[in-house]
Amino acid sequence: MNLLTDEIKHQLPPLYSTENTPDPTAWVKFFTPDASWTWYATEFDGEDTFFGLVQGQDEELGYFSLSELQTLQGPFGLRVERDLSFKPTPLSDLRTAAAA
C-alpha cells in the first residue's frame, strides 16, 4: 500500500506551521490492522517526518517517520496501512473518539 500519496503530501501543512493552532487537523490516519496503534498526521516535512497524535499504549503528540511506518509489522505480520476512508478531523474529535 502507498502510505502517502502526492495529494496527501500537498494537503499536509509543513512542520511547525500549526504549533500555535489550538486544535489542529489530522489529515491522514495510519494504523496497524493487527495491533492497537494509530498515527494521525497533522504536519509533514515534505520528506519523511510527520508530527501528530499517536495512540498506542498511551496517547501523545510527537514525531514519527514515513520510513518507520513502512517497515513496521504487527504481531501477525501485517504492515501499517492508511485508512482510505479517513476524512480530515480536528484532534479534539479523535481524542474524544478514542476515549469512548
pLDDT one-digit tens code per residue, 70-81? 999 999 999 999
d(CA 95, CA 54) in angstroms, rounded, equals 10
pLDDT above 80 for 98: no
pLDDT band at 32 (very low <50, low <70, confident <90, very high): very high
CA angle 41, 29, 65 (to 5 degrees): 50
pLDDT band at 99 (very low <50, low <70, confident <90, very high): low
pLDDT above 80 for 88: yes
pLDDT in tens, 40-65: 999 999 999 999 999 998 999 999 99
Whether the full predicted model's pTM is greater than 0.85, yes or no, is yes
CA angle 26, 31, 34 (to 5 degrees): 160
pLDDT band at 1 (very low <50, low <70, confident <90, very high): confident
How many other C-beta atoms lie within 10 A of the C-beta of residue 99? Answer: 7
- Strands 38-44 and 28-31: what pairing? antiparallel
* Strand stretches in 28-98, DSSP E: 28-31, 38-44, 49-55, 59-65, 81-82, 89-90
